[in-house]
Structure 1
Amino acid sequence: MVLRTLQRAAVTLSVVLAGALSLPVLAAIPIQHWTQPSGARVYLVESPSIPMLDVQLDFDAGSRRDPASQAGLASVTALMTGKGVAARGAEPALDENQLGEAWADLGSAFGASADSDRMSFTLRTLTDPELLRQSVRLAARQLGEPSWPEDVWERERERLSAAIKESRTRPGTVASLAFESAVYGAHPYGFETTPESLARIGVADMRSRYAATIAPCRAKVSLVGAVTRAQADQIVAELLARLPPGADCAPLPAVAEIAPLAAPVDERIAFESAQAHVLIGQPGYKRSDPEFFALLVGNHILGGGGFTSRLTNQVREQRGLSYSVYSYFAPGLHAGAFTLGLQTRPDQADEAVRVAQQVVREFVADGPTEEELQAAKDNLIGGFALRLDSNRKLLGNVTNIAWNELPLDYLEHWTERVRQVSAADIRTAFQRVLQPDRMVTVVVGGR
């Protein structure tokens, strides 16, 4: 039985891979959207050319809802949903090994993760009717009936604590922790998961968090694949059917916003390492910011465009202070950080910091040149097709639309919105969002 299933999956996957290589990028991607009676909001892109289905279920249950004393609760709760399912009726319990074998037999995958804002569950399966039916049923069991085994959590807690302690021996980790703490302050985005915070988390805490946040009425479900709307509606209903109905679906408690920096922070941490790790930044902007595209294009010019960026030109090409230098924004439900990063010799760290800060200061004050702006637009628009050249990438775009409640035709107008950005738009947006004289600077390395 298992062998026949795997053989059938292997044959179908060969067709999938062949189709993926020739998957056309659509000029317009029709996204269907509806709300189920349970309150679940569904977003579907039909992609019949490949016999595969990708599904993502998102819930407002990320680490921004962790108590400070239990930092890491969202992540370990997501982790433990894959460590076994409880028995129900004639369906026997499955431990973590049996659950893994069941997914391997189906040639499908289902897993959970948590980031700062959300807890996500992803399913990838072939659309062969029998494989699809069994995969959806098993995913529904894992989503709705995790067994929360105490002994497995004790083992995982020890493993995670050891990994955290080991990571603290690396300068990059030390720099990131210091940077996030300084940028986010008391906001949950900056909470550090430690062995001590994990020790305060028990199975009962996971059950409580799960029950409070994971309910059909709170779900945003995105699907991309070879299914019709009717099939998708049935699949989503079945995936959510084993969750408690969640009679109380009142809005979850609000999470405070990130406080802006009142003054610059300069933190130097001694570390015996060949390279000094430098991070510079501050709170940035929310994903809902109306000037998102100006900030996107502007950062591509400043430090997000790789070897064509202004930071690379000034820090690497002109002065040879670092092999690579970058900048990015991390917008979320709150103002995710603007981060500028580089590595350099410890004896060059002060000079690298000075140059990087000056580049940011000048960019915020003056904005880009017209040549820089046109080059960035050409690069972003020319690479747009690569954002949609597989079902998995397309799913990521659909979940972005669903989670951030963007217009359904967002992808259709993406290149147009990029093309409309002016140098003045970028200058105005950067002057509003960034304050170069009130940034965090962290240098780890050297004496």
Structure 2
Amino acid sequence: MNPSLRNALTRLAFMLVAAAAALPAAANIDIQHWVAPNGARVYFVESRVLPILDVQVDFDAGAARDPAGKSGVASMTQSLLDTGAGGLDEDTLAERFTDLGAQLGGVADNDRAGLSLRTLSSARERDGSLALLRTLLTQPEFPAAVLDREKARAISGLREADTKPDAIGSKRFARALYGDHPYGRTPTIESVTAISRDDLVAHYRTHYVASRAVVSIVGDVTREQAEAIAVQLTGDLPQGEPLAPIPAVTLPQASTENIAHPANQSHIFVGQPALQRGDLDFFPLQVGNYILGGGGFVSRLTKEVREKRGYAYSVYSYFNPQRQLGAFQIGLQTERSQAAAALKVVDETLAAFMAKGPTEDELRAAKRNLVDGFSLRLDSNRKLLDSLAVIGFYGLPLDWLKKFPERAEAVTAAQVKDAFQRRLSADNIVRVIVAGD
């Protein structure tokens, strides 16, 4: 690293520490939104506290858009964007980002895929980094040799994962939840082997288009500069054609699947599809889940499974909202000889919570934790960018962050009970146990 860059990064580190307390509270976050002339949706928060610019560009290009029989195309496309573009190979691209002190990242999940950038907001670093990001987004080359290398690496990883109980359980749980729905498909050795460079090019051309781009910008630029950045990053992309919507999820029938494995510990997965992004039940379910299993050592599941009976060191639950119904999941590991007993306690704890809901004391404590801790979810530009990108991609209200504390505070015990009873059902709960007796 050259001395000037090292000094700049050192100064920036001190500034980050000094300015952390000055970052805006959620109530003061002003999200600006507009649609660029090419159809890209843009979300912008101006923040002058730090000389930093964070940008993320997402597309409707997640794993749910994988071609049939070729699971892994979406993630492979996204991961190869920075391995050759605009006549520059991956080493040259990496060196140029390093010389500019910029950090490249990305997202690839069921619904979306894209790239993110963190750079200093000074003109040289900002302009150089944005130019590189534009090259990756608009001129990727998907070198055949790199694809072969990454396929070999992915296949090796899949072979190893297919021996591990947690990875085995995660795949089988997804299949039990979603069947042949796109959310239930996961990469396999066969599907990755079948991926060709033509598949990546076709996926990129179909899905990385201006009309479905979501550009999220946080940092030390003006509205005028943000408008120019959005056009710069997406202006050379084709408009794209409308896509068919992701199919609705069909709820599974209740089932229990036992998978043989020699591990000493059983890995247990319990849940069902339950929640979409933007659903009005989000807040009652989030508050309720904190009480049930999301609150760590103060949750009911931890008290019943760990503290009272010592069946597991850790047990958790969460909701994962997606464009279509995302999963509610409970998970734990336990000695295989007591897997059946631990699962029985999990089932009974969940059933009791669904039947009676939380106590008023539990409700107050959960809301206090969620409301008081919410600012920690926004205490950096990077965290704010993550939230802004979710708001933009899923079309959540612009006041979502501002309203979070009061909406969580307004949740009642009756609302938690009602939401859990409507969103979860014993008729649809699936269970997967790997290495059970």
TM-score range, shorter chain: over 0.9
Structure 1 partner of 2:132: 138
SS of 1:138's equivalent in the other structure is helix
CA offsets 1:330-370 (integer angstroms, 9 cap, x no match): 11001111110011111110000000001111111111111
Deviation at 1:111, TM superposition (A): 3.6
* Residue 15 of structure 1, CA deviation: 4.5
**1:108 to 2:110 alignment:** no
Deviation at 1:250, TM superposition (A): 4.1
Structure 2, unaligned runs of 5 or more: none
CA shift at 1:232, angstroms? 0.8
Q: What SS does the corresponding residue of 1:413 show, helix, strand or coil?
A: helix
Structure 2 matches for 1:48-447, cutoff 5 A?
A: 48-86=48-86, 93-243=87-237, 245-246=238-239, 249-262=240-253, 264-447=254-437
CA–CA separation in structure 2 for the residues paired with 1:380 and 1:111: 28
Shift in alpha-carbon separation, 1:42–1:20, aligned structure 2, 3 A? same
Percent identity, aligned pairs only? 45
Aligned position for 1:9: 8
Structure 1 counterpart of 2:45 = 45
Amino acid at match of 1:427: K
Q: Quick one: structure 1 residues 14 and 142, their matched pair in 2 at CA, closer, same or farther if it must change by over 3 Å?
A: same
Asked if the contact 1:140/1:241 (under 8 Å) is kept, the reply is no
Deviation (angstroms), 1:40 = 1.0
1:16–1:52: 8 Å Cα contact kept in structure 2?
no
- 3-state SS in 2 of match to 1:259: coil
| Alpha-carbon shift at residue 255 of structure 1 (Å) | 1.8
| Higher mean C-alpha displacement, 321-330 vs 402-411 | 402-411
1:30 partner letter: D
Displacement of 1:20: 4.1
TM-score (norm 1): 0.94
Amino acid at match of 1:47: S
Please give the alpha-carbon distance, in whole angstroms, between the structure 2 residues aligned to 1:255 and 1:310.
35
What is the Cα deviation at residue 67 of structure 1? 2.0
CA distances 1:200-220 after superposition (whole Å, capped 9, x unpaired) = 111111111111111122111
State the distance in 2 between where 1:19 and 1:252 align: 46
Cα distance change of structure 1 residues 216 and 4 upon mapping to structure 2, 3 Å threshold = farther
The offset of 1:437, in angstroms, is 4.0
Question: What SS does structure 2 have at the residue aligned with 1:438?
Answer: coil
> 1:239 Cα deviation (Å)?
1.2
Q: 1:83 to 1:5 in 2, by over 3 A?
A: farther
AA of the residue aligned to 1:207:
V
Q: CA-to-partner distance for each residue in 1:167-189, whole Å, 9 max, x for gaps?
A: 11111111111111111111111
TM-score normalised per structure 2: 0.97
> CA separation in 2, counterparts of 1:69 and 1:80?
20
Task: Report deviation, 1:240.
Answer: 1.5
Gap runs ≥5 in structure 1 = 87-92
Cα distance between partner residues in 1 of 2:10 and 2:422: 55
Displacement of 1:107 in angstroms is 0.7
Aligned length: 436
Q: Secondary structure at the match of 2:22?
A: coil
- Spell out, residue by residue over 1:100-146, the C-alpha distance to the aligned partner (whole angstroms, 9 max, x if none): 11111111022433100001210110011111111111111111101
Offset of 1:289 from its aligned partner? 1.4
Separation in structure 1 between the aligned mates of residue 286 and residue 241 of structure 2, nearest angstrom: 34
Offset at 1:8?
5.4
Contact 2:38 2:235 in 1 (8 A): no
**Distance 1:113-1:416 versus aligned 2 partners, 3 A rule:** closer
Q: Distance in 1 between matches of 2:68 and 2:103?
A: 33
Shift of the alpha carbon at 1:48? 0.3
